[in-house]
């Protein structure tokens, strides 16, 4: 099911939130919280009910729920002060109060020709583990310190090559 509100679209099937055509990054439990509030928008949802639905019965603190609620508000452009879309009812619970249109399964975002042409091919996984050590940049204005950045990279590579994990798994180390 797709839920459309303001300039946002929550696609529960794909587990994605879109603002216009851009995906808004959400942690899984934050997405679940927002999805649950939207699906139950006709009523007030209590804190205990949210914890049961979102955290699957695991014990979480009130602060953890508040953190997820704040992340959901931030993702949809709301805040605890304005409560334009998610309303807090003290000692009662929470309610999604935005105007929502429901849409059945249709394409969430139309892929334009530019996106289709610039799509990156899937990378294949190597047969064995790999590590990459990238060079450090000398951020000081002293060119004499360049050796320090190079020495750090060499020390990391040497340490990794001696690591029991890297040797046991015959990892390839790139630099």
- Tokens for 135, please give them: 């060079």
| Average pLDDT of the residues in 102-111 | 61
pLDDT of residue 113: 45
Please determine, looking at this structure, whether the domain spanning 2-117 carries the CATH number 1.10.530.10.
no
Which is more confident, 15 or 56? Answer: 15
CB 130 within 8 A of CB 172: yes
pLDDT, average across residues 35-41: 94
pLDDT of residue 51: 85
Q: Is the pLDDT of residue 130 over 70?
A: no
Burial environment of residue 137 by CB neighbours within 10 A (0 to 12, 13 to 18, 19 or more):
exposed
Which part of the chain is CATH 1.10.10.10? Answer: 2-117
pTM score: 0.59
């Amino acid at each position: 099911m797709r839920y459309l509100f303001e300039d946002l679209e929550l696609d529960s099937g794909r587990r994605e939130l879109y603002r216009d055509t851009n995906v808004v990054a959400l942690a899984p439990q934050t997405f679940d919280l927002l999805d649950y509030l939207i699906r139950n928008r006709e009523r007030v949802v209590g804190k205990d009910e949210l914890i049961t639905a979102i955290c699957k019965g695991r014990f979480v603190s009130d602060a953890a729920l508040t953190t997820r609620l704040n992340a959901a508000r931030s993702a949809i452009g709301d805040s605890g002060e304005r409560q334009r879309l998610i309303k807090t009812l003290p000692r009662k619970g929470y309610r999604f109060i935005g105007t929502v249109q429901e849409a059945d399964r249709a394409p969430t975002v139309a892929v334009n020709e530019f996106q289709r042409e610039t799509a990156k091919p899937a990378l294949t996984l190597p047969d064995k583990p790999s590590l990459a050590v990238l060079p450090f940049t000398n951020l000081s204005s002293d060119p004499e310190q360049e050796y320090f950045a190079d020495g750090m990279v060499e020390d990391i590579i040497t340490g990794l090559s001696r690591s029991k994990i890297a040797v046991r798994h015959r990892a390839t180390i790139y630099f």
